[in-house]
Structure 1
Amino acid sequence: MSTPSQPGGHQDGGPPGHPASQPPPPPYPGAGYGSPHPPTGPGTPPGGPGQAGGGYPGGPGYGPPGGPPGWGPPPKAPMNTLAVTAFVLSLVLLFPAALVLGIIALGRVGTSRERGKGLAITAICLASAQIVALAVLVPLALDDSDDTKAESQETSEDRVDEEPPEPPDDPEPGDDEPGDEGVDTIVFDLRVGDCFDPPGGLGAYEEEGALEQSVSVVPCDQPHEAEVYGQFDVTGYGAFPGSEELAGLADQECRALVQPYVLDTWALPIEAQPYYYHPEATSWRIGDREILCFFGRVDGGTLDEALRRDPAELDEEALTYLELTMPLELAFLDEPLTDDDTSALQAWAGSLVDAIDAEMAALSAVEWSLVGGEIESLLAARESSLSSWNAATEAEGDDFWMAVDDGYATMGIDVELNIRQALGLSLG
């Protein structure tokens, strides 16, 4: 796997649902796909903390960070495949092959720019230790077997009757659950809903990255640095597609998995930032295809409670509203990072037009018992804003941003807040 990565940033401006007189509550309030250093990549809600318009900072993946400029330091020299293979074989007690491959890898690393000297040496040491242990334990086992045969020849009259040992006590509930120190688990075994502490903390990835072998899983009701909210497998590639390609894929797919996990993205704590683990070149060769999406804190702090929410906490109408309005919120997060790419900005405005049309059709198809009148007002506001967003699809420079500002201002932010209040949802 590779070093964790986070998706990208955003331009100035406010997302829907936020009056201009106060900091607008973005769909991911204050959050962004970005790394501990400046956020990059598409997907930052306007108005987030730490930069103009907030951001979805680029985050860590398993291995050297990759992606667009600003995602982190340049890639390191490639890892020697034989060194990695020798190390893995030494861990599964295949010491003859591990010893041979480790010696070969050590020679190759010394004459090339590849990394892996430490893994090769470790594999050689482990394999050698296993050979020595086997040479000692086999004779001892044979001696013990002879002693056992001699004892079995005793007659039953010479043996002292003994009471059978009492069965061990049943473990108390929770005996196998992690305590304050957590339980070490390999990264591949993490599942959605797990809370964990990565070794060295998320801040360690910015400087040196990490080939993560394991993390410490802890209960979600105690302080933790990360929480898994989604997972998916990469498909459609034969060879390793590159870190930048995987970062873009993780940016899109992980972002779409946030709302089903937290339900109301406006209730997401401002310090919670989406990150993801993705494969890197070495792990890809041995079959790693998993991208793991998780929340963390760029400032290195901890989350104090689980971010997952139970659908039973909300009524059906509230859940329906959240589901139908999420696509438009995600479309706003795709705002390009640069002011110079006019075609990209116009294309983004066009995607908003499509998302607004789709949301209006979806909201109109539902019979709303609690907020019927407010939904009609919201639909009218969305319809009014379309003229500004359509104008933005053909405007340039200052004219483009004037059209964007008008689009935000006419989307019915005050009506949306009233709907959320009536449905018992967060106001950001």
Structure 2
Amino acid sequence: MATRVLHRPIRGIYAVVALLAIGAVGCSDVSDAVDSAKDGAKKMARQRSVFSLGIGDCYNPNGEVAGETFAVEIVPCGEAHAGQVVGEFNIDGEKTYPGEDAVAAIADERCPVEAGKFAQDTWALPKGVDLFYYTPTKESWATGDRAVSCTYTSESGKSTGSLQADAKSLKPEQTAYLKGANAVYDALWANQPDADSVEEDLDGYKAQAKAVAAALDAHLEGVQDIEGTEIGKLREQLKKTAEHWKKAANATDVDAFYLAYDRAFTGLDPNKTVAARKELGLATTVPADEAEVWAA
């Protein structure tokens, strides 16, 4: 998780070091050193506080992606960059700092939703890109910081272009499908109980099943008027899947839950949506992390 921290920038020191380095090289290396200094100066001129990040900003982290930071390099989205801010919100209703775990839990729940508004088709994201977020620390909270910045960022590799470019060209039926599908998987993961087994928290797992069933009902309503052979097949399959989730939500004991959950979870296998996605003209490569979950 990437976090904020209030800190005074030391960009001036870096600029001085870059310039002084020119005098320490031979004449044959002066040109390379000048180019290097220019690149360094350009990077420093682009440094911005993480407190000033806005939706749509493309950037490169200074060092490791995860960890505390106070500044990043803002770059035009047409240039190679590691991350882009895709959503933001304020943590409201908390008078005192709720703690790192609580803040992370809020971001875990809200950021997928906010990111989905910006780049709806997560299957179309560049390879290696994951959801990260900058959150307040205890120190920055004391100064009034309540903002969470949600980003899609790669820990190794860069891409060009804005992630929102494809979203602007989506057709109504594509948007309807993605809105519902994203909500289903958000419901699944946002309501995942902390307990490792159903025996430890049957009520928690039943609550998760209820949330997924509700999301599936909404998804089915959203795509009911979309025409197409494959989307029709997917609708029928999701109707059956929704019924299994409802059975899991109403299970009276652990055994009954497991019987329903097995078919319910299998019914959400993203591989079963590929044909419908192709028919709708959406990305058809299942993200590696999702493929791994259902392969297991």
TM-score (norm 1): 0.52
Question: Where in structure 2 are there 5+ consecutive unaligned residues?
Answer: 10-40, 286-296
Equivalence for 2:214:
354
The offset of 1:248, in angstroms, is 1.3
Question: Where in structure 1 are there 5+ consecutive unaligned residues?
Answer: 1-58, 64-83, 92-177
Aligned-partner Cα distance in 1 for 2:129–2:237 = 31
Aligned-partner Cα distance in 2 for 1:389–1:343 = 14
Structure with more strand by fraction: 2
C-alpha distance after superposition, 1:348-407 (max 9, x if no partner): 11111111222222333xx43x42x44443332222223322332216556534422212
C-alpha distance after superposition, 1:190-247 (max 9, x if no partner): 11121222222225x2xxxx3x332211233333332211111222222222222221
Equivalence for 1:45:
none
Between the two proteins, the alignment pairs up a number of residues equal to 248
Equivalence for 1:279:
136
1:349-388 equivalent positions in 2, closer than 5 A: 349-364=209-224, 367-368=225-226, 370-371=227-228, 373-388=229-244
The AA in structure 2 aligned to 1:303 is K
Equivalence for 1:403:
260
- Percent identity for Structure 1 against Structure 2: 25
Residues 323/182 of structure 1: CA separation in 2 closer, same or farther (3 Å cut): farther
The offset of 1:252, in angstroms, is 1.1
Aligned-partner Cα distance in 1 for 2:133–2:108 = 8
Aligned-partner Cα distance in 1 for 2:168–2:51 = 30
1:333-352 equivalent positions in 2, closer than 5 A: 333-334=189-190, 335-337=192-194, 338-339=196-197, 340-352=200-212
The AA in structure 2 aligned to 1:190 is L
Q: Secondary structure at the match of 1:355?
A: helix
Structure with more helix by fraction: 2
143, 155, 173: which one pairs with 1:317?
A: 173
Aligned-partner Cα distance in 1 for 2:163–2:184 = 22
The AA in structure 2 aligned to 1:383 is K
Which entry has the higher C-alpha Rg, 1 or 2?
A: 1
1:245-324 equivalent positions in 2, closer than 5 A: 245-297=102-154, 300-306=155-161, 308-310=163-165, 311-324=167-180
Residues 416/198 of structure 1: CA separation in 2 closer, same or farther (3 Å cut): closer
**Does 2:53 match 1:190?**
yes
Point out the more displaced range, 220-229 or 407-416: 407-416
Higher relative contact order (CA 8 A, sep 6+): 1
The AA in structure 1 aligned to 2:77 is C
Residues 184/324 of structure 1: CA separation in 2 closer, same or farther (3 Å cut): same
Work out whether residues 85 and 151 of structure 2, in 8 Å CA contact, stay in contact via their aligned partners in 1.
yes
The AA in structure 2 aligned to 1:427 is T
Aligned-partner Cα distance in 1 for 2:96–2:269 = 47
Aligned-partner Cα distance in 2 for 1:270–1:305 = 12
Work out whether residues 180 and 215 of structure 2, in 8 Å CA contact, stay in contact via their aligned partners in 1.
no
